[in-house]
């Protein structure tokens, strides 16, 4: 015969039938039939299926938590294999299958009791380990009913926490009990508890139970000398009000089991089915702090991302990761907040500085922007170290994909180091290809929508937007202005000739043209150097990327660099063609794993297989285009015009831009330098020339001649015009005339 661990009712065991669902059980049985339907059990995630989650209950039984039992979408569960979870056994079928139900309570402390279910029966646990359980109020009352003799130590008031300790003024206030009164109250409570226990066990046992409390001891407690009590109370108050010293997050690992005080900036906030988890950053590390209000209820709802806070709490380990169990959280403002921000900013600047610039290879065009490379790398590092997501936006070309992949290769390891969450790399880094060769309203709207959702769902900061092979032209201004509404920082690494004033809207940029360099350079050559300074550990992985991005005239330094990394010229060519082909298909997707396999994985036969497809498809399209070329001459300039709308597969590989590039490379071997290749679609046109055409000037000439054509430049000087299809022929005539008047052979 025993007492219910929750209500104290006499039961045959440790819990009454009405409170079985208020307790959580550890299962030490060996078969499903030993489970008790209706009970909640502690388990571990075994794995996912399309229809739900498999959870191991103990070491020998696995049950299915069907997706229909969840209170959310299966895809939104943040459980990983091996995570400890809590589920209800709803049914054990005749075939041994175990059906599980969802539990809003996802921590042991959220249950009112904890028992171990063995084949022999229910048992009290030997030790709850490092779990963050606290005895419930009912369990405490139950424990108080045990028969014991109160000692003088029992009569002393418990030491209060700092926040509860009375001040000197409060101690004199009649509204606050004195130490003497508290001692008397504690003894009287003990007497009442023992009396209640006597009532529970029966009248025959009452005299013996009551003898456990000696009236002389009560009187002795009442007659304690006031001076002695006041002195002891004063000592208790002094200890309670003693300030905790600030601990850095890096040192918290040495204080497991201790209450510490930490200060820092809130990086992210996420609400679980149990506690609210605040991710905190100081000048040394990033750690999660859990605060519990009630199951699934937001603790400290006024705290926001980017707030500077002070947290007092106990350092614990959960699944191997450090976590602070928050007892007190305070937002720091004024001088206190400014001091923390200054300390973090100084430490961050020092930590994020990549040091001296050491380029991957000698290249004057890149050397001209060495300091810009250092600044951009530092900006990206700061974002990672402060828990700010990094979103890389790049063109859907071989150059764009290789540039974006270089930054991805550098950032992901840093994200994994900085954040304890196993899925951190999917929350704090994203690479998104662009539909256009610029950052317009479409892309900006997509990014703003995503970042607002991530802030509301995951408590994340607004991201740092990194533009690769885009962002230097006037077409991006509208997107930048939209980001300004939310104060979103953006940076760019781009080899495109910039338009006046556009780069001023960026927090940092790397663009050789802005430094007065007009030599041919690819965005990947720039981005790979930035990436090497974001994370020096991946420098060797990036060595071949600059060579991959050049379709011709690769600087010898990059050829040598790739060869030293065991990439022969034919290897680099295969990679370039393979990435170009894959960049076309599902161009809106990052294809992270596939691109990683292509550029870094060296999976046997992969690049060669894709490259073969590239060459075959390109050969057929170029052959068709050449068979349908028309030529025009104006003022000594030859125009090779192909109607890409009529003589190419518009929605198949290669895309129009890549087709015109390849066609121009072949044609110029047959013509002199005065050649302009024109790929003319239904309502757009692409121009290629040995001279770098100022397409904006061309567009101005066309507009003055055919004002009703609605001519617009796409992507600055990339050589792309759009117009109204009804004025197609008139636009071509105007383009030929405008170019012939200003064309100067290279």
CATH number at residue 8: 2.40.50.140
Tokens at 66, concatenated: 């069907």
User: Is there a single domain that holds both residue 629 and residue 730?
Assistant: yes
Going across the sheet that includes 720-722, the strands are 630-634, 637-643, 675-680, 684-689, 720-722, 712-713
Whole-number Å distance between alpha carbons of 269 and 709? 52
| pLDDT recorded at residue 77 | 86
User: Is there a single domain that holds both residue 155 and residue 209?
Assistant: yes
Q: Are 11 and 2 in contact (CB under 8 A)?
A: yes
pLDDT digits (tens, 9 = 90+) for 507-556: 999 999 999 887 789 999 999 999 999 999 999 999 999 999 999 999 99
Higher-confidence residue of 146 and 382: namely: 382
Residue showing tokens 């007497």: 191
Residue 557 lies in a domain: no
Whole-number Å distance between alpha carbons of 315 and 258? 6
- The total of other beta-carbon atoms located within 10 Å of residue 95's CB is 6
Percent of the chain with pLDDT over 70: 83
Residue 264 burial class via C-beta count within 10 angstroms: exposed 0-12, middle 13-18, buried 19 and up: buried
Which residues have CB under 8 Å from 334's CB, separation 6+? none
Whole-number Å distance between alpha carbons of 352 and 342? 15
Mean of per-residue pLDDT scores for the chain: 83
- Residues constituting the chain: 746
User: Is there a single domain that holds both residue 176 and residue 117?
Assistant: no
Whole-number Å distance between alpha carbons of 460 and 278? 10
pLDDT digits (tens, 9 = 90+) for 2-23: 788 888 888 888 998 888 898 9
- What's the pTM value of the predicted model, to 2 decimals? 0.63
Whole-number Å distance between alpha carbons of 187 and 653? 87
Average pLDDT over residues 80-87: 92
| 363 has pLDDT over 50 | yes
pLDDT band at 717 (very low <50, low <70, confident <90, very high): low
Residue 546 lies in a domain: no
| pLDDT recorded at residue 1 | 66
| pLDDT recorded at residue 207 | 37
Residue showing tokens 């011709």: 552
Give ∠ CA 21-26-31 in degrees, rounded to 5.
100
| pLDDT recorded at residue 421 | 67
- The total of other beta-carbon atoms located within 10 Å of residue 410's CB is 27
Domain boundary among 207, 241, 275: 241
| pLDDT recorded at residue 522 | 95
Residue 563 lies in a domain: no
In order, the DSSP letters of 59-125 are TTEEEEEEGGG-SS-GGG----TT-EEEEEEEEE-TTS-EEEE--S--SGGGSSEEEEEETTEEE--
User: Is there a single domain that holds both residue 528 and residue 422?
Assistant: yes
Range of the domain at 636: 620-742
User: Is there a single domain that holds both residue 432 and residue 527?
Assistant: yes
Residue showing tokens 């890549």: 658
| 335 has pLDDT over 90 | yes
Average pLDDT over residues 712-738: 88
pLDDT band at 177 (very low <50, low <70, confident <90, very high): very low
Lowest mean pLDDT among 71-85, 228-242, 389-403: 228-242
Least Cα distance to 507 among 526, 483, 525 occurs for 483
pLDDT digits (tens, 9 = 90+) for 194-234: 444 444 434 444 433 334 444 444 444 444 444 445 445 44
| pLDDT recorded at residue 206 | 40
- The total of other beta-carbon atoms located within 10 Å of residue 152's CB is 12
| 165 has pLDDT over 60 | no
pLDDT digits (tens, 9 = 90+) for 597-632: 999 988 888 999 999 999 999 999 999 999 999 999
Q: Are 374 and 493 in contact (CB under 8 A)?
A: no
Whole-number Å distance between alpha carbons of 522 and 503? 18
Residue 580 lies in a domain: no
pLDDT digits (tens, 9 = 90+) for 125-137: 886 444 444 433 3
Please tell me the total count of domains within the chain.
Answer: 5
Which residues have CB under 8 Å from 364's CB, separation 6+? 517, 519
Helix or strand run (H / E) with residue 313: strand 308-318
Higher-confidence residue of 649 and 161: namely: 649
User: Is there a single domain that holds both residue 116 and residue 150?
Assistant: no
Domain boundary among 112, 139, 166: 139
User: Is there a single domain that holds both residue 507 and residue 376?
Assistant: yes
Least Cα distance to 424 among 398, 390, 375, 382 occurs for 390
């Amino acid at each position: 015969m025993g007492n219910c661990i929750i209500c104290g009712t006499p039961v045959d065991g440790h819990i009454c039938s009405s409170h079985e669902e208020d307790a959580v059980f550890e299962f030490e049985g060996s078969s499903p039939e030993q489970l008790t339907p209706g009970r909640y059990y502690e388990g571990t995630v075994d794995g996912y299926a399309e229809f739900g989650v498999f959870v191991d209950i103990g070491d020998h039984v696995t049950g299915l938590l069907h997706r229909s039992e969840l209170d959310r979408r299966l895809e939104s569960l943040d459980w990983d294999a091996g995570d400890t979870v809590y589920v209800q056994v709803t049914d054990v079928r005749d075939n041994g299958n175990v059906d599980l139900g969802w539990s809003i309570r996802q921590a042991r402390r959220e249950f009112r009791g904890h028992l171990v279910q063995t084949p022999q029966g229910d048992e009290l646990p030997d030790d709850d380990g490092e779990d963050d359980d606290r005895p419930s109020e009912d369990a405490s009352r139950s424990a108080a009913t045990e028969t014991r003799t109160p000692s003088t130590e029992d009569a002393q008031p418990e030491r209060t926490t700092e926040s509860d300790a009375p001040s000197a003024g409060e101690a004199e206030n009649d509204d606050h009990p004195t130490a003497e009164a508290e001692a008397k109250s504690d003894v009287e409570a003990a007497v009442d508890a023992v009396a209640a226990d006597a009532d529970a066990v029966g009248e025959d046992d009452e005299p013996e139970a009551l003898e456990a409390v000696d009236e002389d001891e009560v009187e002795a407690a009442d007659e304690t000398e006031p001076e002695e009590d006041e002195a002891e109370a004063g000592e208790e108050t002094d200890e309670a009000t003693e300030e905790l010293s600030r601990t850095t997050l890096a040192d918290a690992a040495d204080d497991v089991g201790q209450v510490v005080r930490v200060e820092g900036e809130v990086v992210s906030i996420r609400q679980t089915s149990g506690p609210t988890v605040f991710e905190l950053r100081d000048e040394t590390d990033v750690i999660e702090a859990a605060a519990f209000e009630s199951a699934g209820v937001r603790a400290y709802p006024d705290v926001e991302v980017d707030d500077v806070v002070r947290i007092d709490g106990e350092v614990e380990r959960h699944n191997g990761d450090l976590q602070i169990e928050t007892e007190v959280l305070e937002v720091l403002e004024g001088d206190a907040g400014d001091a923390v921000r200054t300390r973090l900013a100084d430490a961050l600047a020092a930590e994020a500085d990549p040091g001296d610039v050491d380029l991957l290879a000698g290249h004057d065009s890149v050397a001209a922007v060495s300091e810009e490379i250092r600044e951009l790398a530092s900006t990206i590092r700061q974002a990672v170290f402060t828990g700010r997501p990094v979103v890389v936006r790049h063109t859907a070309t071989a150059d764009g994909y290789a540039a974006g992949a270089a930054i991805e290769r550098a950032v992901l390891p840093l994200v994994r180091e900085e954040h304890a969450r196993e899925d951190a790399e999917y929350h704090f880094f994203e690479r998104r290809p662009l539909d256009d060769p610029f950052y317009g309203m479409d892309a900006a709207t997509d990014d703003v929508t995503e970042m607002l959702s991530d802030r509301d769902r995951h408590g994340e900061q607004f991201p740092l937007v990194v533009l690769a092979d885009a962002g230097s032209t006037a077409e991006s201004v509208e997107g930048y202005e939209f980001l300004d509404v939310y104060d979103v920082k953006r940076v760019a690494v781009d080899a495109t000739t910039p338009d006046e004033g556009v780069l001023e809207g960026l927090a940092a940029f790397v663009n050789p043209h802005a430094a007065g360099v007009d030599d041919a350079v690819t965005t990947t050559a720039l981005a790979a150097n930035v990436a090497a300074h974001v994370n020096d550990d991946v420098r060797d992985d990036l060595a071949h990327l600059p060579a991959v991005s050049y379709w011709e005239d690769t600087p010898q330094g990059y050829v040598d660099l790739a060869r030293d990394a065991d990439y022969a010229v034919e290897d680099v060519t295969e990679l370039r063609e393979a990435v170009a082909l894959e960049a076309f298909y599902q161009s809106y997707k990052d294809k992270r794993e596939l691109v990683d396999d292509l550029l870094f994985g060296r999976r046997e036969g992969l690049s060669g297989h894709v490259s073969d497809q590239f060459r075959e498809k390109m050969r057929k399209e170029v052959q068709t285009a050449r068979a349908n070329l028309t030529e025009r001459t104006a003022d000594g300039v030859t125009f090779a015009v192909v109607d890409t709308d009529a003589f190419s597969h518009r929605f198949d590989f290669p895309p129009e831009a890549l087709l015109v590039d390849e066609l121009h490379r072949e044609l110029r071997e047959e013509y002199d330098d005065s050649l302009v290749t024109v790929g003319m679609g239904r309502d757009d046109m692409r121009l290629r020339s040995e001279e770098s055409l100022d397409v904006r000037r061309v567009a101005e000439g066309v507009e003055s001649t055919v004002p009703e054509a609605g001519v617009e430049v796409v992507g600055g000087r990339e050589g792309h015009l759009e117009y109204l299809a009804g004025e197609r022929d008139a636009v071509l005539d105007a383009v030929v005339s405008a170019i012939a008047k200003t064309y100067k052979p290279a």
